[in-house]
Amino acid sequence: QLTSGVSHDFNNQLNGILGYVALMKTMTNDRDLLRYMDGIERSVKHSTELTRQLLAFSHKSENKRINLDLNEVVKDIVSMLEHTFDRRISIESVVDKNDYFVLGDSSQLHNAILNLCINARDAISGQGKITLTLTQEQIDEIPKNLISTNVTPNQYAVLKVIDTGCGIEPRLINKIFKPFFTTKDVGKGTGIGLAAVADTLRSHNGAVTVDSSVGKGTTFTLYLPLNHGIDERMTEIDIRQGVGKIMLIDDEMCNLEITHALLESFGYDVVSFSNPKKAIEYYAQTPEEFDCVLLDVIMPYLSGAEVFEALKLINPDCKVILLTGVSERLELDFVLRHGVDAYVPKPVDQYTLSNGLYTVLNPKPFSAKPISMGRLKEVDTSLNLEYALGCIGFNVRLYLKIAHNFRKQFYLTVERLPQLAENNMPEAIRMVHTIKGLSAQLGADELYEYGRELEAALKDDNNYQDLLPIFLEEFIEVTDELAKIESIGSSFL
């Protein structure tokens, strides 16, 4: 909870920086100023990963893997170091002429390399040199000195960070990658930097080695498997303009001002609220007035989850996009289970926000292009997809539509069903009966069986309290599975 709170507050500050830069970009055509603003944006985006490093030791978040050019990452870091490090420390990069595409999380790799460079700087007293080299190497036999290794025989990009600093004592080499171990003075090091580096390399099926000599310097070597499958480069998406009326709810006045201005720059009419209770009262009077609601998750008085439920009770068709700086699994479960239309992490950049909002307000219809049954059957799921699809003539598109409607119709089941069982038994029986029938169509065999047993227990008013939590737990698992299948299935459209 502490790290989540820190993450939320820190990302709120970063959101302010990123938002004001986006607004400043609309006020000038000066190329130098725009280039400096691009640099600020890159730094802020990389800084958001620093909070995720703290959260990484308590839970694992899902990586955003893309095909990226490691050479470009190195160039970006070298440029940053040249402008920020002590001028007495020379920065040099040596890159062999090769392709260095790897499948990875850009921010995680950027921060791993930057952590090593910062440690190298701290190890140098006065004048010194930091060198980054990038080469390719075929590894057929796994060296024994690899740390945090998931490597297999393959061709690897080999990145070395070499410094002329004080070096590391041999007795400390085996400790430096442990979380919270640091040789720096109190207040000058957290002890999570090298641990995060090792964790990043492990999650990327890579490895790290260290070679150090006291008084001469240290070399960290990173191994990352090359990705030969794709060689295209990611390009920055355009800002999407739109029309419509948006309700914005965020208790942070700085974020409220920035996001309001950004939304207006995209072409939308915006009504903003810092008080979620007043926002709900206003929405209840004219729900048809708004095309979408942008909602912060962590707020005083009412949480984002509570506001979302209130809005849906007023208007079940209300479109909602969550804005948040926290990367909690509980929060992501809420998004998947309750049918939130989109999720935009803070700090919010103008590209993600404009495209996310445009996509929600202008959803693509199902394509006529057929979806491969074989591809969908490859999905790792406990659902009996083959049986379910067989019942509807292997119409994958129809299955995805049933799955979507199921999650949309029953997004409040976990909260409502226990209340109905206490206060309105006929309605509780009807809900369980409907879920049971649809679960059979979806291939959710266990949910069907639990539903059958719970329906009988509710009708007889016979010890349903023991069955209800089991049914709801299975319901949550099924909705999570359906969300995953929808996401994968839509990528084939």
Beta bridge partner(s), residue 217:
213
Report the alpha-carbon distance of residue 406 to residue 404 in Å, rounded.
5
As a whole number, mean pLDDT of residues 177-198 equals 61
Q: Indicate whether 231 belongs to any domain.
A: no
Q: Are residues 133 and 155 in the same domain?
A: yes
Q: Name the token pair of 14.
A: 């970063």
Q: Between 55 and 282, where is the model more confident?
A: 282
With H, G, I as helix, E, B as strand and everything else as coil, classify residue 91. strand
Q: Does the pLDDT at position 92 exceed 90?
A: yes
Q: Are residues 199 and 338 in the same domain?
A: no
Q: Indicate whether 253 belongs to any domain.
A: yes
Q: Are residues 139 and 38 in the same domain?
A: no
Tens-digit pLDDT profile for residues 378-433: 566 788 887 787 777 677 777 887 888 787 777 678 778 888 888 888 888 988 98
Q: Are residues 76 and 216 in the same domain?
A: yes
Q: Compute the Cα dihedral for 371, 377, 381, 385 and give only its sign.
A: positive
Q: Are residues 332 and 412 in the same domain?
A: no
Tens-digit pLDDT profile for residues 300-319: 778 787 888 899 889 988 99
Q: Does the pLDDT at position 154 exceed 90?
A: no
With tokens 């419509």, the residue in question is 244
Q: Are residues 76 and 162 in the same domain?
A: yes
pLDDT of residue 379: 62
Tens-digit pLDDT profile for residues 35-66: 888 888 777 766 665 555 555 444 444 445 66
Q: Indicate whether 258 belongs to any domain.
A: yes
Chain mean pLDDT for the chain: 78
Tens-digit pLDDT profile for residues 253-262: 878 888 898 8
pLDDT of residue 386: 79
Strand pairing category for 101-104 and 66-69: antiparallel
pLDDT of residue 11: 66
pLDDT of residue 94: 93
Q: Indicate whether 88 belongs to any domain.
A: yes
- pTM value surpassing 0.85: no
Q: Which of 91-100, 187-196, 343-352 has the lowest mean pLDDT?
A: 187-196
| Boundary-marking domain end, from 198, 225, 252 | 225
Q: Can you give the residue range of the structural domain that contains 309?
A: 1-61+236-363
Q: Are residues 98 and 152 in the same domain?
A: yes
Q: Are residues 389 and 337 in the same domain?
A: no
Q: Indicate whether 230 belongs to any domain.
A: no
| Boundary-marking domain end, from 310, 330, 363 | 363
Q: Are residues 22 and 148 in the same domain?
A: no
Q: Indicate whether 299 belongs to any domain.
A: yes
CATH code: domain of residue 279: 3.40.50.2300
The 8-class DSSP code of residue 60 comes to: P
Beta bridge partner(s), residue 131:
92, 162
Q: Between 29 and 220, where is the model more confident?
A: 220
| Boundary-marking domain end, from 329, 363, 397 | 363
Q: Which of 80, 68, 161 is nearest to 108 (CA)?
A: 68
Residue 163, classified by CB atoms within 10 Å of its CB into exposed (0-12), middle (13-18) or buried (19+), is buried
pLDDT of residue 45: 67
Give the number of other Cβ atoms within 10 Å of residue 470's Cβ.
Answer: 13
Q: Does the pLDDT at position 472 exceed 80?
A: yes
Tens-digit pLDDT profile for residues 115-138: 899 889 989 988 999 999 999 988
CATH code: domain of residue 120: 3.30.565.10
H-only helix segments in 135-268: 193-203, 253-265
Q: Are residues 71 and 204 in the same domain?
A: yes
As a whole number, mean pLDDT of residues 199-210 equals 84
Q: Are residues 189 and 130 in the same domain?
A: yes
Q: Indicate whether 368 belongs to any domain.
A: no
Q: Indicate whether 148 belongs to any domain.
A: yes
Q: Are residues 48 and 160 in the same domain?
A: no
Q: Does the pLDDT at position 85 exceed 80?
A: yes
Binned at pLDDT 50, 70 and 90, residue 282 comes out as very high
Q: Does the pLDDT at position 217 exceed 80?
A: yes
Q: Does the pLDDT at position 231 exceed 50?
A: no
What is the count of structural domains for the chain? Answer: 3
Tens-digit pLDDT profile for residues 350-359: 777 888 888 8
Q: At a CB cut-off of 8 Å and minimum separation 6, what does 408 contact?
A: 339
Strands (E), 197-291: 207-213, 217-225, 245-249, 269-273
Q: Does the pLDDT at position 186 exceed 50?
A: no
Q: Does the pLDDT at position 170 exceed 60?
A: yes
